Amino acid sequence: MGRIEALLSRMTLTEKLGQLTMSAADQAVTGPVVAPVIAQGLARDVRGGAVGSVLNLYGSERVRAMQRLAVEESRLGIPLFFGLDVIHGYRTLFPVPLAEVGAFDPELWEQTAREAAREAAREGVDMFFAPMLDVARDPRWGRTVEGPGEDPTVGRALAGAKVRGFQGTDLAAPDAVAAVAKHFCAYGPVQAGREYASVDISERTVLEVHMPSFAAAVEAGVAAVMPAFTDLAGIPMTAHRPLLCGWLRERLGFQGVIVSDYNAIGELMAHGVAADRIEAATLALQAGVDIDMVADAYRHGLPVALERGLVNETQVDAAVRRVLALKERLGLFDDPYRRCQGPGPEAADALARRRSLARRAAASSLVLLTHHGAVLPLRPGLRRLALIGPLADAGAEMRGSWVAAATEHGQISVLEGLRQALGADVIAHTPGVTLSGADTSGIESAVQSCETADVILLCLGEAGTMSGEAASRAGLDLPGCQRELALAVLERAAALDKPVVAILFSGRPLVVPWLFEAADAVIAAWFPGSEAGHGIADVLTGRASPGGRTPISWPRSVGQIPIFYAQRPGGRPFAPNNRYTSQYLDVPNDPQFQFGHGLSYGRCELGNLRVTPQRCHLHDTLEVSVEVRNTGPRAARETIFLFAHDRLASVARPVLELKAWEQIDLQAGGQSRVTLRLPARELSFPGADLQMLFEPGEVELLVGLQADRACMRSVVVNLTC
Ligand code: GLC
């Protein structure tokens, strides 16, 4: 009999339900339940075998002490595992996911995940509640910052890269951590972009848009999945038996652990589908949820549910087996302290390596949105730079949301990065206003600082806590009186004929058309992480070329939301000069910036598009090649996107669908041919019956630098069965 069966045969019901219970310590508060109260009883519960895993406790000594209670003082000595929200780094923060995704560099995504795992796994963390894979098309929703942006193909690539990076090739390795694909599924389309609101979308959209990234995570071997807080057309995901048991476990063959979100089982009562914790626990267990995070519904509800015959011990044992199997895969039975090594002898080298990667990731994620003239990169020998705005000297804000173990200290601000790059005497720093206050008294001195400047740099945007969980915004403008500051500076700069560069820090696109109009250049930095200042200085000085492309359509107006490029055409697609076509009276249909938009310091031209074979079958692979030339003055990294459009099908298809992308670095004047490979099966889609269909007929393949048909090259291929 194996270890797990032997253990199971000896476990009491309390001990079994303990393995299905994850309790919160209070080193981080990530939910509404009062964690400190739970934390006080934690040691007692661990000794009593009434808890099987812990979240929000980290640090090798703290974890070692808690683990010792389980291993040495509980009756069966079953080790705990420890989970934490390491979303974009542990102590060394990489750019927030929405930023990093914009680098369109899966190798980078995997590298930063690997480094985060190596750093956290020395300090007791066995599980990351990451990657967050929720496709988001409504930037009012704060969690847009945590995920892959608007596109499911990007979500699939992110899922694979992050699961491989976090878990490595052997989950028992001391520097591997269990990944949790979250939040399954369709959390992004919360009604009106309001956090935790209900979700009611078509099965087709769930299948085409919100499931692919989770299927990719399962295919990559993700250890666990976390259902979303939300309901899907009235069925809470935490109790969604058809999708958890039917699709995830049976259809995809997922054999890992399903861990609820924070108190989500208890919240089935608030959803109105459970009268009490007994019914809530019953619904969740029957749906296939193995671990109850924080709600204590399993511990207190399942004993009664068992007595009433609402659930049976076989269902409980199946869940316990999956939890124990995960602990075995993590190597915790062989060495419960394997991730409590603390900083090793190579800590200094490891830190230097991580910081260097964070710097490169920051530079690669910056999106040069506008660049009128040639103000960037800043010319050498700059005499005076006026650095203005509340986010110029704001190292802590550069962390964004989900900061894990990264304290406010040690984060490189824009001010620090520029002082090191240009020299402290070149920089004249004036905050002007606070991030969200109403005091405008500092604007005048900020405006004054333009007088003697060669270039003016505005650092504007949101606080890190204005995006992430529980951070929806109904308006997407600059907080506080930053707009007043910016307008005053822009006006004076125009009068002085001095260039203004603006950097926007945010967890979502901000609706500031007036800034894009008036500034000489605008960069979307999102939240670049621990090396923000250095990465930004590298791009501003030309040491690095801006490589980011926006992974989400950038709205011109909140009224356009949800706005995304992969729209179905409808029966009256927009046509100019025809009132009776799809449009607004007051705002253009197109976004401020299309998905994939981002300028470089080069100038990229595409030509000579070829595709083979012209006629293809399901098992063929299409090769689409295009000539890429950099006719600009400086080296650049370009991202070439491949889209598809099935003009005539049994189901109306989106006007564009991203299928692949490639990146290329080109020197000034350089040219090369880029080949994008696309398995023809990727052109299948859910037919009218929602079964995948490879439908004969013509499909247009389009290659471009962003989701804008006006600047694409296209070719038609024929699908044949
Ligand atoms: C939070 C989030 C989830 C996180 C969990 C544990 O409420 O929804 O993403 O992993 O609780 O902190």
Instruction: Note the pLDDT tens digit of each residue in 35-57.
Output: 445 566 899 999 999 999 999 99
Q: What are phi and psi of 259, to 5 degrees?
A: -110, 130
Q: Which residue has the tokens 């880029």?
A: 674
| Residue corresponding to tokens 């356009």 | 560
Residue 234: pLDDT band with limits 50, 70, 90: very high
Specify the amino acid at residue 90: Y
pLDDT tens-digit readout, 255-293? 999 999 999 999 999 999 999 999 999 999 999 999 999
Ligand 1, pocket-test mutation among 85, 146, 196, 230, most atoms within 8 A of CB: 85
Catalytic residue (one of 126, 134, 138, 261) = 261
- Given the DSSP bridges, would you call strands 127-128 and 178-184 parallel, antiparallel or unpaired? parallel
The contacts of residue 415 (CB under 8 Å, 6+ apart) are 387, 392, 393, 427, 429, 533
26, 30, 267: residue to mutate for ligand 1 pocket, most atoms within 8 A of CB: 30
Distance in Å, CA 34 to ligand 1 centroid = 14
Which of 261, 291, 401, 467 to mutate to test ligand 1, by most ligand atoms within 8 A of the CB atom? 261
CA of 323 to the centre of ligand 1 (A): 19
Q: Which of 698, 684, 692 is nearest to 611 (CA)?
A: 698
33 pLDDT band, cuts 50/70/90, is low
Q: Report, as an integer, the average pLDDT of 15-21.
A: 98
Closest ligand 1 atom to residue 183 Cα is: 9
For ligand 1, the distance from its centroid to the CA atom of residue 469, given in whole angstroms, is 8
* pLDDT in the model for residue 170: 98
- Given a cut of 60, whether residue 13 has pLDDT beyond it is yes
What is the rounded average pLDDT of the residues 13-38?
A: 82
Residue with token string 């001195």: 445
* Whole-angstrom distance, CA of residue 453 vs CA of residue 350: 40
Spacing, Cα 31 to ligand 1 middle (Å)? 7
CA-nearest residue, atom 11 of ligand 1 = 262
Burial class (CB in 10 A: 0-12, 13-18, 19+), 506: buried
Ligand 1 proximal residues by C-beta, below 6 Å: 30-31, 55, 85, 129, 182, 261-262, 469
CA 102 from centroid of its chain's CA atoms:
10
pLDDT for 373 beyond 90: no
Q: CA–CA separation, 661 vs 106, rounded Å?
A: 11
Q: Which amino acid is residue 144, in one-letter code?
A: T
* pLDDT exceeds 50 at position 160: yes
Ligand 1 centre to CA of 102 (Å) is: 24
Q: Please, are residues 186 and 210 in contact by the beta-carbon 8 Å criterion?
A: yes
Tell me the pLDDT band of 471, cut-offs 50, 70 and 90: very high
Residue 27: predicted pLDDT: 85
Q: Closest residue (by CA) to atom 3 of ligand 1?
A: 261
Stretch 240-247: mean pLDDT: 97
Residue with CA at minimum distance from ligand 1 atom 10:
129
Q: What is the pLDDT of residues 510-545, one digit of tens each?
A: 999 999 999 999 999 999 999 999 999 999 999 999
Give CA–CA dist 176/185, Å, rounded: 25
Please choose, from the candidates 188, 215, 201, 196, the residue with its C-alpha nearest in 3D space to the C-alpha of residue 551.
188
What is the β-pairing status of strands 500-505 and 521-524?
parallel
The rounded Å distance from CA 291 to ligand 1 centre is 14
In the predicted model, what is the mean pLDDT of residues 154-176? 98
Whether the CB-CB separation of 468 and 400 falls below 8 Å is answered with: yes
Confidence class of residue 29 from pLDDT cuts 50, 70 and 90? confident
Atom of ligand 1 nearest to the CA of 129: 10
Own/partner pairs, 644-648, CB within 8 angstroms, 24+ separation: 644/678, 644/683, 644/699, 644/700, 644/701, 644/702, 645/699, 645/700, 645/702, 646/683, 646/685, 646/695, 646/697, 646/699, 646/700, 647/698, 647/699, 647/700, 648/697, 648/698
pLDDT at residue number 689: 98
CA of 160 to the centre of ligand 1 (A): 21
Mean pLDDT, rounded, for 101-119: 98
Per-residue pLDDT, 17: 98
Distance CA 615, CA 613 (A): 5
The Cα-based distances of 140 to 133, 320, 460, 478, 524 in angstroms read 17, 39, 18, 13, 17
Q: Per-residue pLDDT tens for 413-425?
A: 999 999 999 999 9
pLDDT at 34 over 80: no
Distance (Å, rounded) from C-alpha 43 to C-alpha 48?
A: 9
Average pLDDT for residues 170-196, to the nearest whole number? 98
**Which of 22, 26, 129 best tests ligand 1's pocket when mutated (most atoms within 8 Å of CB)?**
129
Rounded-to-integer distance, Cα 523 and Cα 92, Å: 23
Give pLDDT, residue 344: 83
Provide the residue type at 695 as one letter. E
SS3 372: coil
Yes or no: say if 120 and 90 are a contact pair by the CB < 8 Å rule. Answer: yes
Is position 261 annotated as part of the catalytic site? yes
Average pLDDT over residues 218-234: 98
Q: Give the largest CA-CA distance in the chain.
A: 83
Q: How far apart are CA 537 and CA 298, in angstroms?
A: 51
Distance CA 478, CA 504 (A): 9
Q: How far is the CA of 589 from the centre of ligand 1 (A)?
A: 35
Residue 663 in contact with residue 702, Cβ under 8 Å? no
- Residue 35, pLDDT score: 47
The overall average pLDDT reported for the chain is 97
Which ligand 1 atom is at minimum distance from the Cα of 56?
A: 12
pLDDT tens for 357-366 read 999 999 999 9
- Do residues 200 and 191 lie in contact, with contact meaning Cβ atoms separated by under 8 Å? yes
What's the burial of 423, exposed, middle or buried (CB within 10 Å: 0-12/13-18/19+)?
A: exposed
pLDDT in tens, 684-696: 999 999 999 999 9
| End-to-end C-alpha distance for the chain, whole angstroms | 50
pLDDT at position 466 is 98
Residue nearest to atom 8 of ligand 1 (CA): 261
Q: Say if residue 649's pLDDT is above 70.
A: yes
Please answer whether residues 53 and 81 qualify as being in contact, where contact means their C-beta atoms are separated by less than 8 angstroms. yes
Residue 225 to residue 218: CA distance in whole angstroms: 9
The whole-number pLDDT of residue 38 equals 58
485 in Cβ contact with 433 (< 8 Å): yes
Identify the residue whose C-alpha is closest to ligand 1 atom 12: 30
Contacts of 631 (CB under 8 A, 6+ apart): 602, 603, 604, 605, 669
Phi, psi for 568 (deg, rounded to 5):
-80, 150
Percent of the chain with pLDDT over 70: 99
